[in-house]
Structure 1
Amino acid sequence: MGKSVFIAEKPSVAAEFAKALKLNTSRRDGYMESENAIVTWCVGHLVTMSYPEVYDEKYKKWNLKDLPFIPEGEWKYEVIPSVKKQFKIVKDILNRDDVETIYVCTDSGREGEYIYRLVAQEAGVKNKKEKRVWIDSQTEEEILRGIREAKDLSEYNNLSDAAYLRAKEDYLMGINFSRLLTLKYGNSIQNYLKDGWKSINVGRVMTCVLGMICNREREIRSFVKTPFYRVLAATDIGGRKIDTEWKAVEGSKFFETPYLYKENGFKEKPVAEALINALERNSTNNESNAYPLEMTVKSITMKEEKKQAPLLYNLAELQNDCSKMFKISPDETLNVVQELYENKLVTYPRTDARVLSTAVAKEIHKNIGGLQNYSPCGHFAVNILKASSYKGIEKTKYVDDRKITDHYAIIPTGQGLNGLQKQKPINQKVYMVIVRRFLSIFYPPAIYKKASLIGIMPATYRDETTTTEQFSSNFKILVNKGYLEIAGVPKEKKKSAKQEDVEGTNEENSENSELSLDEDFFNLLHNIKKGDKIPVSGTEIKEGETSPPKRYTSGSLILAMENAGQLIEDEDLRAQIKGSGIGTSATRAEIIKKLVNIKYLSLNKKTQVITPTQLGEMIFGVVHGSIKSLLNPELTASWELGLTQVAEGKITSDEYMHKLNEFIRGRFNNVINLNNSGQMTGYYNYVAQFYRRKK
């Protein structure tokens, strides 16, 4: 019987496979071998695509007449020089006569598939059984399951096709558009900056991300603050001073008039003053009365609201939260969670899913059971097991096989806790965040009491017309923490009038809903009914102003990339977004890092805020004036969606390549015919004014 080879992506992963298989191996140079098995590894990529000059020497020199470069026939690949030794070791092993079966144990995703396929291609592997091991964590149990259930490698051919196409797409767009724009505009940038030769780096995803940052910076610069004026009436409810906010509803003098900013404010202060004067004309005018005005209760509604725990973490959500909580960049977060994965503490990190699979849900008590020994949250795990609240989880929103492609959400395995203390402090913090999010879904929802009070006051204006003006206030208290006992009760965000966002105020964000209220106050509200009179001690004007859009942070940029250019902070809305985003969970952090490294973007490490550099904005202007479609998030996402369709077998590789070649040739010809160097100089001047002071 022939030997089996287990080929992993890294030496550390290979060691875990050897341990799980309980192989009595002897260590060799670049592999481990036992009587019946060999375990070897890549070191990331061993093979890469060849540069154009390998096809023809003429491509060494960049020349417009030689572009676009689109290989005809067979594409060329080569071994990466720095890893030639390991490639030869792997090649010899895969082709050994005594090797019968190859178990492909590279990372379970598109990139891991590509790594092995290139190795097998360049090594000339033939007449061997090839089995694909697909796992979600590196626990012994999961590794053995993956080997036991390994499918024939051919079942992943569509995924392999998508992997090859992604690489070809990035290669063709990068080489052709970078050379084209450098040859056409590189000298003008060099001459303007007087800072040495500048090649223009263009990429399918990175250029789109650069565009998102530069467009946001333009929005901020062009933003003009708009003042607005809100009218508040101070009421006395059982000795509690509560502000109520005016709102223009039907029956108001100002309903649907041009004086309004939104429906709860005025564009000009004199109009707000006119409303206050009209209200005060109905005062008692009795100096002995502490409350010269009163409000009649129009309605009071009270209800309970349940809030369930959020969905589990995928990589983008985790990167966003770590950016906010720990001020670490997305690539740092990915490195941390990768280390946790390799130490068996969490499941596979490069996932877009935020739910569990039905199969995993059936065994989820094992993960919870292991966490009983995790001191910061062990008592929560004990409570969950005691209450058996994990039973029936498969019928909830947290389990959905339809929303899983390659891997389910990032969750703790419940194993590897003995080595947790050896992890870096940041690793331990990120692990705790993942654990808390996971355990939260097994706790009951948080319960809030909510109340809405609407009152009316008569207003008499100078022209003697009288209207009824409406004021309202909203209240909320937490009466049962539920899952927030694990996740933590969110801090109340109290906004001043100066801090209102560009949308202005709304009832949910008004000052009253931010007050720290208690059960006693809600008992007071219970005793109020329609038609009751509430004393009003006075009215006032609160001045605010709109604020510009926020700059992206590294975390919010990851979310925007996931949602095809939209920064959707609301969790439920994000869940409704369907289709592919910009880049993938495995590549987004690296793209941001590259843009920072080539000095197109600047990342503030303390705040994680991202801004363009002068060079980055100049490149943005060049692309905007030549191949504007590269800046379109929806178009970039559509390419990613096409790759997903190839992986799913919905379209063929030939169809995809035909569209890609057409796109490159079409955009290339458009740029060749452009004559816009004068416009570019004008744009460089525009950009420069925003960076002179920085220098």
Structure 2
Amino acid sequence: MVRGKRLDWMALVVLSFGFFFAGGLMRVVLAEKPSVARDLASYLKAQTRRDGYLEGSGYQVTWAFGHLVELKEPGDYDPALKRWSLDTLPFVPEKFQLRLRGDAGAKKQFAIIQGLFKKADSLICATDAGREGELIFRYIQSLAGATRKPAQRLWLSSLTPSAIAKAFASIRPLSDFDDLYAAAKCRSQADWVVGLNATRNYTVRHQSSPVSTSGSSKQSDKQSGSRRSGLLWSLGRVQTPVLAMIVRRDDAIRTFVAEPFWELLTNYRKVQFRSIGDRFDNEAEAEEVRKACAQVPLVINKVAGRSETSLPPQLYDLTELQRDMNRRFGISAADTLSAAQSLYEAKWITYPRTDSRYLGKDMRKEVPKILAQLQSFKPTEVSRLDLKKLPFNARIINDAKITDHHAIIPTGAKPGNLTGHAQKVYDAVAIRLIAAFYPSCEKQVTTVDATAGKVGFRARGVRVVVPGWTLLYPRKDKKSDEPQTLPDFQKGESGPHQPVVKSGQTSPPKHFSENTLLGAMDTAGKLVEEAELREALKEKGLGTPATRAATIETLLRRKYIDRDKKNIVATDLGRYLIAIVQDRNLTSPELTGEWEAKLKQIERGELSASSFMDEIAEYTHGIIRRSDSLSIDPDVYGDCPQCGQKVIAGKKALGCSAWRKGCSFVLAPIYRESALTMTNLRELLQFGVIREPITIDGGHPFLLTLAASGKLVEVPLPLGNEQDNDHPDAKRSKPSKRSLTSTKSSSGQAKVSNGADSGLGPCPLCGHPVIETPKSYGCSQWKQGCGLTIWKTMSGRKISVTNAKKLIKKGETPIVKGFRSKAGKKFDAKLKLVDGKVQFDF
């Protein structure tokens, strides 16, 4: 026993200092990728190539291909669990077991690693220095049966020879990272448990979608028949809250009603002044005030100036790098990470999967050297710095703000011929390091207050005094964005001016881009732009910087979201999934953010892994339990979606109890001239959706949902082939830009026209589904050039859905009565469809 301990101690000495005794110990180094293994082998002088590893100088350097080992599937525990059934849910293994990834390459490489591990005297973990890298090594070590081997951890932030030497000089026992492994394992197991049980639960429950029909006066609550969806409803601990954020944002835009307004401006000495008061809701009132102002001179009452300082941007963490690349160049988060990873492996930037925007004190000596090396290809930018007196400050150097890795910076190595995304990412990282040491941008802001009679006006001008770091980020030539320059105004001066009324309208929220979505994920849905506040919320973000791009790509692959230029929008499939998920916790960014904060606590040794997993198991049981027992509370109506107060009954509709305080929410018991039952209204208020699909006038069935704005929104039922890439209707999942526009029905209830397939039939020109829009029936491929259009009103006569169907299917209608010519004369005619256009046939 004593001899064994002595050998372990000697192994640590050898590992720490790189000594090797002829015929002595053999150390196996496991890297995450072959490219990293080659760099380590080169440093260690392990030059002999073997099958699956490199050998020499007492080292065997091998590699994984990412996650070689994974958690077993339910069927591996019990063959009966291969069949998806509600009876076997929830399934939470008492003890999680591992299995090898199924592909041939993984099996071969694992066999090589296992053989090396068994013969080794000691192991070195050299996988990526972070939560996932730790998991990759530990899972391989466990499945290979090598957990009793002496092992150490190599913590690399860069792959330059000097960084590798520094990492070997400070190598630590693997046990020092047990808390990191515990957090990684909890993340892996929690995602498995929640994802598997929620996915099976909702997929099985929603395999069949009963379709109820609604006539013009009464909705049928009982309808026989069903249709199989044929879809996998994939849910996850992180991906589902992210999807819910996108769906809610899209619904806010979809139900937004623009409100017109008018504002009063005036021009004096070629400077635009803006009225200080509220904007006008009435044009006539605004015009009246304008006329009054025009009768009197504009008097300058006050001229005030102040200095404004804009600090240099902080260094990049991965999320900020991804956001900046998307904002400036439209590069996706996944492509940015891929480019950054390739730059890291080429030794040109430091480790990219970091959540810190700071450097440690140990980097003070390194940064001037890196900047000096950058001077050869960024001469102008670096020449403005005094490399001997760099202005280090707490926004750059802060050890307390670094967990696994410091901010992303260049290594100083001169890059080769970079192109495409790699070039843009490298330039951004290099310029950001240089900018961190530039002076602040100093501006002089002047505010001028004036009056014209009783109406107050204000003008604002900005003059850049010291451009500072903004020299590195020249603005694109957008004159409309430039602040106006003010002349020398004097208090008390006055003169004629030209007041004008400018019309405008309120704007809806903007769709998420990957930039803004990553920002929302970083703060668990809280839309925060101030850097300090974002930093405080980071621990409660959705996922980690290293996994967020993968989450977005998963949602794209499942066809729950789509890219529309720079925007990220939910497809009808994604909207439907969020509509059927009744468990609010599954869609809650806040809850998932709290879990992420607890994983951070586990990393720091402040929370036990067992207590976290107990909470996850209880939560998972709750998903199934709540699905089984979901019922309407008959004693209340529900809460107001706009303000959260209780909803009460009025004479003709339900409404918010806070109506005296200004809440305008009203929910009428009629929708598109079809009655809604009290059960329907309670479902909308308590669950946000009527759970039974509805059809109206023979159209495509849909779920009726209640948006946070208080408006009703239709979500079309899936056809069942949306996830089939080869099916011609797969594109239908993408919502049309013309979909879901609010109009008014005769009852005064908000009427929402469904822009998805409405069951009107295939387009006679191209075969794709015909859709209903607010003003017409047209082909869903209108963006691709299909010209089929049937206007809902022709010559003063409304065209019914029935006649539209006849035109689409037969090419003509019977005689339709009640048209009116431009001269006001009534006439009757058949309608004929000719080359996608409707013509009269007398």
TM over 0.5, shorter chain? yes
Q: Which AA in structure 2 matches 1:481?
A: P
| Structure 1 pair 529–651 and aligned structure 2 pair: CA distance change class (3 A) | same
Structure 1 match to 2:30:
7
Structure 2 match to 1:204:
237
Q: Which AA in structure 2 matches 1:388?
A: K
What is the DSSP-based 3-state SS (H/G/I as helix, E as strand, rest coil) of the residue aligned with 1:411? Answer: coil
| Structure 1 pair 24–181 and aligned structure 2 pair: CA distance change class (3 A) | closer
Q: Which runs of 5+ in 2 are unaligned?
A: 1-23, 213-224, 632-682, 684-688, 695-701, 705-713, 717-753, 758-770, 772-779, 782-842
Which of 359, 364, 367 is the matching residue for 1:361? Answer: 364
Q: Are 2:50 and 1:90 equivalent residues in the alignment?
A: no
What is the DSSP-based 3-state SS (H/G/I as helix, E as strand, rest coil) of the residue aligned with 1:663? Answer: helix
| Structure 1 pair 232–126 and aligned structure 2 pair: CA distance change class (3 A) | closer
Q: Which AA in structure 1 matches 2:629?
A: N
Q: How far has the Cα of 1:583 moved from its partner?
A: 0.8
Q: Are 2:123 and 1:122 equivalent residues in the alignment?
A: no
- Which digits, 9 at most, give the CA deviation of each residue in 1:412-438, with x for residues without a partner? 1111x2x420x3322112111111111
Q: How far has the Cα of 1:603 moved from its partner?
A: 1.3
Q: How far has the Cα of 1:609 moved from its partner?
A: 1.1
- Whole-angstrom distance in 1 between the partners of 2:319 and 2:458: 39
Q: How far has the Cα of 1:313 moved from its partner?
A: 1.1
What is the DSSP-based 3-state SS (H/G/I as helix, E as strand, rest coil) of the residue aligned with 2:546? Answer: coil
Structure 1 match to 2:474:
488
Larger CA deviation: 651-660 vs 266-275: 266-275
Q: Which runs of 5+ in 1 are unaligned?
A: 249-262, 284-292, 459-467, 496-513
- Whole-angstrom distance in 1 between the partners of 2:435 and 2:349: 16
Structure 1 match to 2:831:
none
**Per residue, is there more helix in 1 or in 2?**
1
What is the DSSP-based 3-state SS (H/G/I as helix, E as strand, rest coil) of the residue aligned with 2:207? Answer: helix
Structure 2 match to 1:227:
260
| Structure 1 pair 2–193 and aligned structure 2 pair: CA distance change class (3 A) | farther
- Whole-angstrom distance in 2 between the partners of 1:194 and 1:670: 25
Q: How far has the Cα of 1:315 moved from its partner?
A: 1.0
Q: Which AA in structure 2 matches 1:90?
A: I
- Whole-angstrom distance in 2 between the partners of 1:195 and 1:319: 40
- Whole-angstrom distance in 2 between the partners of 1:35 and 1:307: 54
User: How do 1:660-671 and structure 2 match up within 5 A?
Assistant: 660-671=616-627
Q: Which AA in structure 2 matches 1:161?
A: A
Q: Is the 8 A contact 1:189 1:198 kept in 2?
A: no
| Structure 1 pair 15–622 and aligned structure 2 pair: CA distance change class (3 A) | same
- Whole-angstrom distance in 2 between the partners of 1:3 and 1:353: 36
Q: How far has the Cα of 1:575 moved from its partner?
A: 4.0
Q: Is the 8 A contact 1:582 1:636 kept in 2?
A: yes
Q: Is the 8 A contact 2:265 2:499 kept in 1?
A: yes
Which of 197, 201, 204 is the matching residue for 1:183? Answer: 204
Structure 2 match to 1:477:
463
Q: Which AA in structure 2 matches 1:354?
A: R
- Whole-angstrom distance in 1 between the partners of 2:352 and 2:624: 38
| Structure 1 pair 193–538 and aligned structure 2 pair: CA distance change class (3 A) | farther
- Whole-angstrom distance in 2 between the partners of 1:247 and 1:470: 5
- Which digits, 9 at most, give the CA deviation of each residue in 1:145-196, with x for residues without a partner? 1111011111110110011110111100111111111111122189999786
- Whole-angstrom distance in 1 between the partners of 2:228 and 2:208: 11
Q: Are 2:666 and 1:645 equivalent residues in the alignment?
A: no
Q: Indicate the RMSD between aligned Cα atoms, in angstroms.
A: 2.2
Q: Are 2:275 and 1:246 equivalent residues in the alignment?
A: yes
Q: How far has the Cα of 1:323 moved from its partner?
A: 1.3
| Structure 1 pair 398–536 and aligned structure 2 pair: CA distance change class (3 A) | farther
Q: Which AA in structure 2 matches 1:427?
A: A
Q: How far has the Cα of 1:566 moved from its partner?
A: 2.7
- Whole-angstrom distance in 2 between the partners of 1:428 and 1:617: 37
* Aligned pairs, number: 614
Structure 2 match to 1:400:
398
Q: How far has the Cα of 1:129 moved from its partner?
A: 2.0
| Structure 1 pair 680–632 and aligned structure 2 pair: CA distance change class (3 A) | farther
Q: How far has the Cα of 1:480 moved from its partner?
A: 2.1
Q: Which AA in structure 1 matches 2:473?
A: A
Q: Which AA in structure 2 matches 1:29?
A: D
Q: Is the 8 A contact 1:389 1:442 kept in 2?
A: no
**Per residue, is there more strand in 1 or in 2?**
2
Please report the TM-score for the alignment, with normalisation by the length of structure 1.
Answer: 0.85
- Whole-angstrom distance in 1 between the partners of 2:546 and 2:318: 8
Q: Which AA in structure 1 matches 2:283?
A: K
- Which digits, 9 at most, give the CA deviation of each residue in 1:327-352, with x for residues without a partner? 22110111011101111111111111
Q: Is the 8 A contact 1:186 1:200 kept in 2?
A: no
Q: How far has the Cα of 1:379 moved from its partner?
A: 2.7
Q: Is the 8 A contact 1:190 1:196 kept in 2?
A: no
What is the DSSP-based 3-state SS (H/G/I as helix, E as strand, rest coil) of the residue aligned with 1:643? Answer: helix
Q: How far has the Cα of 1:538 moved from its partner?
A: 1.6
Q: Which AA in structure 1 matches 2:627?
A: V
Q: How far has the Cα of 1:640 moved from its partner?
A: 0.9
Structure 2 match to 1:388:
388
| Structure 1 pair 232–608 and aligned structure 2 pair: CA distance change class (3 A) | closer
- Whole-angstrom distance in 2 between the partners of 1:190 and 1:94: 59
Which of 445, 448, 451 is the matching residue for 1:453? Answer: 448
- Whole-angstrom distance in 2 between the partners of 1:345 and 1:640: 31
Q: Are 2:422 and 1:427 equivalent residues in the alignment?
A: yes
| Structure 1 pair 678–451 and aligned structure 2 pair: CA distance change class (3 A) | closer
Identity %: 32
Structure 1 match to 2:165:
144
Which of 287, 294, 302 is the matching residue for 1:273? Answer: 287
What is the DSSP-based 3-state SS (H/G/I as helix, E as strand, rest coil) of the residue aligned with 1:380? Answer: helix
Structure 2 match to 1:510:
none
In our comparison, the structure showing a higher alpha carbon Rg is: 2
Q: Which AA in structure 2 matches 1:221?
A: R
Q: Is the 8 A contact 2:30 2:62 kept in 1?
A: yes
What is the DSSP-based 3-state SS (H/G/I as helix, E as strand, rest coil) of the residue aligned with 2:433? Answer: helix
| Structure 1 pair 663–411 and aligned structure 2 pair: CA distance change class (3 A) | same
Structure 2 match to 1:690:
755
- Which digits, 9 at most, give the CA deviation of each residue in 1:92-115, with x for residues without a partner? 11110xx33311110000000000
What is the DSSP-based 3-state SS (H/G/I as helix, E as strand, rest coil) of the residue aligned with 2:457? Answer: strand
Structure 2 match to 1:656:
612
Q: Is the 8 A contact 2:258 2:507 kept in 1?
A: yes
Q: Is the 8 A contact 1:481 1:489 kept in 2?
A: no
Structure 1 match to 2:493:
533
What is the DSSP-based 3-state SS (H/G/I as helix, E as strand, rest coil) of the residue aligned with 1:610? Answer: strand
Q: Is the 8 A contact 1:437 1:487 kept in 2?
A: no
Q: How far has the Cα of 1:584 moved from its partner?
A: 0.7
